[in-house]
Chain A
């Protein structure tokens, strides 16, 4: 492991190449790059999950931690790892201070594995608009986690509004064991009957505020063509938000899956004894591992999402996003924004005035210290921050630069 303090993107590229040369038998090729966006408080959790996933799907792992956007001097600290704490492959943990955080892609782009797919995972509340984060724009597949937001169902709605093919959400990944069990239960009904099965209705009993439960209901609705809702039940459901699923079939039959609170579920179906199936809780690493297995777009997810949110035509949207410049330091005028203005006043010499002079620049103090930050120019007046809610401004940290 090498840690580079106050370094540049090019130095990281060089260090990675150097370690690859001296490291002996290391991977000669990687099938994909996983970019993880996490904040400092969750970086350990994200590292563990990404490492576990990287063991399943060897990849180049780039972890981006954005800190102190308001710091006056942009700075990059990087930790380059080959076959160490972060799994068998190549891994770089980058901490970006100051406005470099807004240009993270300038450091990340040269580090991507050549001509291999890029997956970006936000281990944070999902971005409101993916197109405002260049790390999402360069990705072929984007993983968000609505369960990290305060209101997961509202977060799903935002994800649907912003959806482009290639987006996915971990609340959907968490539904796979339930969905697989439901599908195989109906297989067994169809196998017994020797004829088609139709679902006439049903319900998901659980927590209507849980995104996974809502997606399972949405999926059932989209597959069966009958409305199936999440209804609150007497019992408090587990982390999946689902306590039971009941499906009413044709021929007056019914199947029911009931969470048994012991890492499994009991299947009730006609003409068959009750059976217990394991539905073990999966770690974050396993969820990311499932996401990395396939890199094509996930139509069943977009269809379930359409049902849950009422958005339409998700799968037909263009899969490629245009980057939209968004400066959290210069949000639309609002209470939260005003506060952010105050802090930025003290820290950012070039852009501290008002939102009316939208010309953020790399602070003069950084001249000559970071050629990459300088050349990564997204700061032109293509600034449509009007469309932005002041998402990050409210949370703009006030810690002083180091």
Chain B
């Protein structure tokens, strides 16, 4: 960008504000748009982070006018906004909200969208810049992308940028993701494609980089000499909700393991990037993902599970096969646990245990580094009976923060060492600086900052890890576990086989 005398890098009070632009959301009436995107747009406006010339265009099949849409957007934003409601902020935003009705194969609707954009370029001074958010099922991508190509909306020129935001799932195996990438890249240039993995927008995930690379304390022990194993958990207490149709085809591994968990693994295991920039961080992540190996003995080290009827949080929960819209013989997994290796000098021999599941006792996401035991303990064996492994736990959600677990003497006349925990709670020290993940990511898209977005090569490398597992699982039945327990027995055995056990998050 050209220089502006009022911009001063030392002036940290002035926010980074994107250039004038429009945000076009396909599928604006959907759940994600109402619960996350619209509130995020309002929160950004309220924090003064949207450019003065900004327009929001919604595209959906519903037969609505601008007024009805504006009303829906208002109530959605108001209900889910993070920041306090200020009517005057919304009113300014509402002036530049448009709704375009049409189905995705309707040429007229897209022509209308294109002409609306061109009109806003003048009337709202958005300067031709636009980001397209595809909040729609992936099956619709080809249609929408072709329409955008036909109307010439997707072209970035030196005068203007056009960006596209894609939500996961990015395909359902390596072949389909390649196809999807090829399609998106044929319409938009690779640099203009932003793949949202909302986990990467979370402060703690970004803090993982600060923790590792801004401190002297952790990096020296962040390797196979000191780390015994790494456990990455993403547990949900909810079932599949109303998403049976989607989930039946997807399953836990494709839904969570392929993207969130592998991204967390990449950030945990990656080498130090040359500099804190999108390109360098992606390069390091990609190296790790390419070094990931899947276990030979998949029967033991790649476990899937499916929840049965049980009790969770004091309520009876249906089994997966009894959920509405799920086949009674379904073999879709709702739980996946796998032991991966990272074949680099830093991590050779350290198992990375990844697990995710639905209907587990609580909602929690965390990365735990379990350290080796001290090579020599000068205490009597009875003194350290209760001493476990030292652990460094990065809690991603909820209670974002870091826990350090180590041994300490129990007060008293005998020497007895027991584990204690030292806690850093993000919300305690910096309540303010926790924007919603979508807020952050949306702003980054408008600013053109791709640091927190996986690149297509990363997506493909991730599928290369998942595909052999899926191939093996296709021939097996998932293990069963009761709703409300921490996964199937076989997952416990998987760690027990190597003398380890899962940490209870």
Q: Which residues of A come within 8 Å of B, CB atoms?
A: 27-31, 55-58, 173, 176-177, 179-199, 220, 223-225, 262-264, 267, 271-273, 275-278, 280, 289-290, 293-294, 296, 298-300
B3 adjacent to A190 (CB under 8 Å): yes
Given contacts A55-B431, A58-B428, A181-B52, 10 further A-B contacts (CB under 8 A): A27-B425, A29-B424, A31-B430, A57-B432, A183-B6, A184-B51, A189-B4, A199-B5, A262-B88, A278-B88
- Does B8 sit within 8 A of A, measured CB to CB? yes
For A57, the closest partner residue in chain B by CB is: B432
Q: How far is the CB of B83 from chain A (nearest CB, A)?
A: 11
Q: How many A-B residue pairs have CB under 8 A?
A: 143
Q: A182-B6, A183-B4 are in contact. Are A27 and B431 (CB under 8 A)?
A: no
- Does B127 sit within 8 A of A, measured CB to CB? yes
A176 adjacent to B3 (CB under 8 Å): no
Enumerate B1-47 residues with CB–CB distance to A below 8 Å.
1-8, 10-15, 17, 19-20, 45
A264 adjacent to B7 (CB under 8 Å): no
Q: Which of A31, A186, A198 contacts B429 (CB 8 A)?
A: A31
Q: Which of B88, B125, B433 contacts A264 (CB 8 A)?
A: B88
A300 to B7, CA, bound (A): 10
A186 adjacent to B428 (CB under 8 Å): no
B52 adjacent to A267 (CB under 8 Å): yes
B432 adjacent to A293 (CB under 8 Å): yes
For A175, the closest partner residue in chain B by CB is: B13
Q: How far is the CB of A398 from chain B (nearest CB, A)?
A: 43
B contact face: mostly helix, strand, loop, or mixed: loop
Q: Which of B45, B86, B125, B423 contacts A188 (CB 8 A)?
A: B125
Q: How far is the CB of A214 from chain B (nearest CB, A)?
A: 17
For A249, the closest partner residue in chain B by CB is: B5
A191 adjacent to B20 (CB under 8 Å): yes
A272 adjacent to B125 (CB under 8 Å): yes
A195 to B2, CA, bound (A): 5
17 of the cross-chain contacts (CB-CB < 8 Å) are: A27-B425, A28-B428, A29-B424, A30-B428, A57-B431, A176-B13, A179-B11, A180-B14, A183-B4, A187-B1, A188-B19, A197-B3, A199-B5, A223-B5, A289-B432, A300-B8, A300-B11
Q: A57-B431, A275-B125, A293-B432 are in contact. Are A187 and B7 (CB under 8 A)?
A: yes
A187 to B423, CA, bound (A): 43
Residues of A within 8 A of B13 (CB): 173, 176, 179-180, 290, 294, 298, 300
Residues of B within 8 A of A194 (CB): 2, 158-159
B123 adjacent to A273 (CB under 8 Å): yes
Q: A28-B428, A180-B14, A275-B53 are in contact. Are A196 and B2 (CB under 8 A)?
A: yes
Residues of A within 8 A of B11 (CB): 179, 299-300
Residues of B within 8 A of A193 (CB): 2
B3 adjacent to A196 (CB under 8 Å): yes
Residues of A within 8 A of B432 (CB): 56-57, 289, 293
Q: A185-B52, A275-B124 are in contact. Are A263 and B88 (CB under 8 A)?
A: yes
Provide the B457-478 mask, 1 if CB < 8 A to any CB of A, else 0.
Answer: 0000000000000000000000
Q: Which of B17, B53, B86, B158 has the most C-beta atoms of chain A within 10 angstroms of its own C-beta?
A: B53
A228 to B48, CA, bound (A): 25
A223 adjacent to B6 (CB under 8 Å): yes
Residues of B within 8 A of A280 (CB): 86, 88-89
Residues of A within 8 A of B427 (CB): 58
Residues of A within 8 A of B122 (CB): 273
Q: How far is the CB of A285 from chain B (nearest CB, A)?
A: 12
Q: Which of A29, A185, A277, A280 has the most C-beta atoms of chain B within 10 angstroms of its own C-beta?
A: A277
Enumerate B112-141 residues with CB–CB distance to A below 8 Å.
122-125, 127
A300 adjacent to B10 (CB under 8 Å): yes
A187 to B8, CA, bound (A): 12
- Does B92 sit within 8 A of A, measured CB to CB? yes
- Does B95 sit within 8 A of A, measured CB to CB? yes
A224 adjacent to B52 (CB under 8 Å): no
Q: Which of A29, A56, A262, A272 contacts B53 (CB 8 A)?
A: A272
